[in-house]
């Protein structure tokens, strides 16, 4: 036993001395300042350094959503209904009217012409309760042709009349409305005519001679006289009348047209 412990101690001391000698030798070894060159092997080259960079991008997608909103507004307006238009009312006593009917030829234009048509317009002054008044009127007459004198051209006449009017109100003989009036009318006229055949003024016991109508317009002064009946209510009047419209063409006795007219007046 004693030998074993001494042997172990000897061995341990020997190891410690050995390790200290190695360390001292390493510290006492000189360092050289000369660089030892390192040569590349002929078989290859040194590969370059490659750095791998990983880039992470963060993309944010923004989605805009547009909603269409329909806004309904209920608007209540106050609508004013305009009053109906007022009827046209002329000054007190004045009236305007139209009429139509037929016209018959008489005198020197009786034989070569026949009954035709007539249109009329009038403007006057006379209230329904007045006895005196005045009227001016214009008429257009288209006479027919007698078969023995037919040339395919009808006589045409324009007549302007300026008349006095005498009325006789008869009152409400048919009840409350309308009012009945009878009137007479007469005065001065001027007639333009064309294509109007007529009988020439020849001495007695001589053959009758007729003159063909002239296509140019010719005017002659004349006269008219007649009368009518009317029914009046409110501002309206309906009438029927007849007149004799006379004038004297050159080289002929008096020529006359007799119209019968149904018309309407507004007061």
Tens of pLDDT along 224-260? 999 999 998 888 999 999 999 999 998 888 999 999 9
Kindly report, residue by residue over 176-230, the tens digit of the pLDDT: 678 899 999 999 999 999 999 999 988 877 888 888 889 999 999 999 999 999 9
Percentage of the chain lying above the pLDDT 90 cut: 46
Segment of 128-132, 144-148, 191-195, 208-212 carrying the highest mean pLDDT: 191-195
| Any domain includes 157 | yes
d(CA 163, CA 186): 5
Say how many domains are in the chain.
Answer: 1
Could you give the CA distance from residue 185 to residue 166 in angstroms, rounded to a whole number? 6
Helix boundaries (H) for the chain: 2-28
Would you say residue 26 has pLDDT above 50?
A: no
- Region 45-68 average pLDDT: 57
Task: Tell whether pTM > 0.75.
Answer: no
Q: Is residue 133 part of a domain?
A: yes
Tell me if 112 is assigned to some domain: yes
Specify if 176 maps to a domain. Answer: yes
Among 63-67, 128-132, 139-143, the minimum mean pLDDT is found in: 63-67
d(CA 136, CA 123): 6
CB 246 within 8 A of CB 107: yes
Kindly report the CATH number assigned to the domain that includes residue 217.
Answer: 2.40.160
Provide the domain limits for residue 152.
104-266
Q: How many helices (H) and strands (E) does the chain have?
A: 1, 10
């Amino acid at each position: 036993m004693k030998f074993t412990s001494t042997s172990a101690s000897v061995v341990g001391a020997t190891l410690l001395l050995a390790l200290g000698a190695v360390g001292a030798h390493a510290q006492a070894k000189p360092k050289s300042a000369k660089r030892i060159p390192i040569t590349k092997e002929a078989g290859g080259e040194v590969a370059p350094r490659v750095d791998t960079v990983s880039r992470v991008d963060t993309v944010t997608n923004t989605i805009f959503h547009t909603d269409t909103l329909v806004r309904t507004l209920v608007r209540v307006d106050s609508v004013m209904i305009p009053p109906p238009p007022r009827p046209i009312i002329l000054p007190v006593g004045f009236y305007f009217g139209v009429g139509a009917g037929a016209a018959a030829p008489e005198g020197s234009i009786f034989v070569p012409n026949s009954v035709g048509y007539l249109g009329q317009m009038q403007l006057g002054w006379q209230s329904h309760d007045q006895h005196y008044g005045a009227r001016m009127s214009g008429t257009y007459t288209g006479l027919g042709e007698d078969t023995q004198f037919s040339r395919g051209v009808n006589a045409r006449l324009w007549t302007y009349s300026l008349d006095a009017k005498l009325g006789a109100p008869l009152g409400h003989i048919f009840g409350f409305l309308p009012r009945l009036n009878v009137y007479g009318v007469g005065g001065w006229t001027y007639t333009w005519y064309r294509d109007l055949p007529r009988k020439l003024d020849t001495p007695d016991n001589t053959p009758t001679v007729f003159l063909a109508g002239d296509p140019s317009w010719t005017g002659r002064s004349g006269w008219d006289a007649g009368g009518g009946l009317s029914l009046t209510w409110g501002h309206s009047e309906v009438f029927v009348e007849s007149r004799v419209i006379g004038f004297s063409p050159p080289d002929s006795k008096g020529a006359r047209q007799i119209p019968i007219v149904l018309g309407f007046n507004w007061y």
